[in-house]
Amino acid sequence: MGRLTALLRRSSSGRRTHAPNPADIDRFMPAADAIGSAWQLGAQIGPLMEESAPTATLLSGDQLARRLGQGLDFEQLRVYQPGEPSSLIDWRISARAHEPMVRVYREPAQRQCHLIIDTSASMHFGTRQQLKITQAITVAHLLAAAALRQAMSVALHTPALPQRPSDAPSTGRTALMHRLSTLAEWAAIGEANRETDGDWAGFRQRLLRCLPDGQVIVVISDFLTEPGNEHGPLVWLPLAQHHRVLFVQIADPVERALPDVGSVVFAGNPPRRIDTHRSAERERLARLFEERRITLEDTARALGGWHALLFTDQAVPDLARQIAGAQRGQAVTEPVASDRNDRNRTSP
């Protein structure tokens, strides 16, 4: 923790940084059994990248390769190495060089899965068991396990934490588990220092410039802040034209059905007071939530991906089943656990 804080101080360009309380870190950290279950159940997640129908079915062959073939971007010429296929030799250049030469193209050895985890202020909310950011980290563990099983390398991104250094895609389970465990520390640091919601537009532009085509991008967010902004989730269209973009929406059960607990002040900038006694107000908020869910689901399908709605009170096996159902187009929109004693769990 001390090394992480020192790194943050050096990278903050003179801005004073406040170290978080260890208790705050524990609020964001998923339980150890949830993390272990997520890595065990990653096999239940279907393919994150779906190939075209003829390629994936009629022409797939009996033995599927775990690595992609050569790309189309020329990289270099080099001397032929014994044991390589002779089909790689460029005979015209070899005749001029008087030795066998191989033309090498850029080879995407592994498809990349980029997990974009929203850590903005709206994710620091929860009335049941855990915060939305905690469930988002658990979902990231689950999807990282699935991606590794599908021979992908995994990278983590947190646009709302600009001080967190970027990570290169990794194929190591231990490295990914460590990176995900430090997300709780970074989220606590961002909360302690009142970090902004980050430059999401600039982040998308950097991904668009830097990523080779054909990668998987998973956005894990409540979609209440910039990820949807005034243009809605269609802001991800430029990336979806080159990659597969998937939406995982994290929500608290009270966001879907606000209980009648009287006048409640919700934290925010500025704080907002809502009179939950008014049934019209509760119905309006429920309608807004449902409209946002439908918009995300329709947009995900239009972009060639899928949308999964997950709640903070769902256990890891339920998360895996929900995501698998979303992949089949059978997403369940009802929370798995329903508790009518919401007023005992929400404090005014």
What is residue 126's predicted lDDT score, i.e. its pLDDT? 83
Phi, psi (5° rounding) for residue 261?
-125, 20
The tens digit of pLDDT for each residue in 175-187 reads 999 999 888 888 7
Q: Does pLDDT of 61 surpass 80?
A: no
Q: How confident is the model at residue 331 (pLDDT cuts 50, 70, 90)?
A: low
The domain in which residue 204 lies consists of 28-46+110-344
Q: Is residue 269 assigned to a domain?
A: yes
Q: How confident is the model at residue 189 (pLDDT cuts 50, 70, 90)?
A: confident
Whether residue 131 contacts residue 27, with contact meaning beta carbons closer than 8 Å, is answered with: yes
* Cα–Cα separations (whole angstroms), residue 214 to 168, 242, 307: 17, 6, 19
* Least trusted range by pLDDT, from 19-28, 148-157, 178-187, 195-204: 19-28
The tens digit of pLDDT for each residue in 85-98 reads 888 899 999 999 99
Distance CA 309, CA 130 (A): 16
Does 144 lie in the same domain as 167? yes
Distance CA 100, CA 238 (A): 42
Tell me the range of 19-33, 246-260, 268-282, 327-341 where mean pLDDT is highest.
246-260
3-state DSSP call for residue 317?
helix
- CATH code, domain carrying 212: 3.40.50.410
Does 85 lie in the same domain as 207? no
Q: Does pLDDT of 193 surpass 60?
A: no
Number of domains within the chain: 2
Pick 97 or 74 by higher pLDDT.
97
Helix and strand numbers (H, E) in the chain are 12, 9
Pick 141 or 1 by higher pLDDT.
141
Q: Is residue 266 assigned to a domain?
A: yes
Q: Is residue 308 assigned to a domain?
A: yes
Supply the mean pLDDT for the chain: 79
| Mean per-residue pLDDT, 75-92 | 86
* Least trusted range by pLDDT, from 70-79, 198-207, 276-285: 70-79
Rounded to 10°, the helix 32-41/316-327 angle is 30
Label the pairing between strands 153-157 and 112-117: parallel
Q: Does pLDDT of 242 surpass 80?
A: yes
Pick 167 or 144 by higher pLDDT.
144
Which two three-digit tokens encode residue 23? Answer: 């208790």
Q: Is residue 137 assigned to a domain?
A: yes
The last residue of a domain, from among 91, 106, 121: 106
Q: How confident is the model at residue 252 (pLDDT cuts 50, 70, 90)?
A: very high
Does 100 lie in the same domain as 224? no
Pick 105 or 101 by higher pLDDT.
101
What is residue 167's predicted lDDT score, i.e. its pLDDT? 79
Question: What's the chain's Rg over C-alpha atoms?
Answer: 23
Does 88 lie in the same domain as 161? no
What is residue 173's predicted lDDT score, i.e. its pLDDT? 92
Whether residue 249 contacts residue 319, with contact meaning beta carbons closer than 8 Å, is answered with: no
Does 97 lie in the same domain as 116? no
What is residue 175's predicted lDDT score, i.e. its pLDDT? 92
Does 91 lie in the same domain as 117? no
Of 210, 218, 211, which is closest to residue 147 (Cα–Cα)? 218
Q: How confident is the model at residue 28 (pLDDT cuts 50, 70, 90)?
A: confident
| Mean per-residue pLDDT, 6-17 | 43
What is residue 136's predicted lDDT score, i.e. its pLDDT? 95
Does 239 lie in the same domain as 116? yes
Q: Is residue 171 assigned to a domain?
A: yes
Q: Is residue 118 assigned to a domain?
A: yes
Whether residue 248 contacts residue 263, with contact meaning beta carbons closer than 8 Å, is answered with: no
Does 181 lie in the same domain as 95? no
Does 228 lie in the same domain as 144? yes
Q: Does pLDDT of 57 surpass 60?
A: no
Does 281 lie in the same domain as 226? yes
* Least trusted range by pLDDT, from 42-46, 141-145, 251-255, 338-342: 338-342
Does 127 lie in the same domain as 236? yes
Q: How confident is the model at residue 68 (pLDDT cuts 50, 70, 90)?
A: low
| Mean per-residue pLDDT, 280-302 | 91
Q: Is residue 20 assigned to a domain?
A: no
Of 301, 251, 231, 307, which is closest to residue 127 (Cα–Cα)? 251
| Mean per-residue pLDDT, 17-31 | 71
Does 198 lie in the same domain as 75? no
Of 307, 323, 114, 80, which is closest to residue 203 (Cα–Cα)? 114
Which residues make Cβ contacts (< 8 Å) with residue 20, sequence separation at least 6? 185, 188, 189, 191, 192
Q: Is residue 303 assigned to a domain?
A: yes
What is residue 267's predicted lDDT score, i.e. its pLDDT? 63
Of 157, 158, 173, which is closest to residue 215 (Cα–Cα)? 157
Q: ∠ CA(95), CA(98), CA(100), 5° rounding?
A: 75
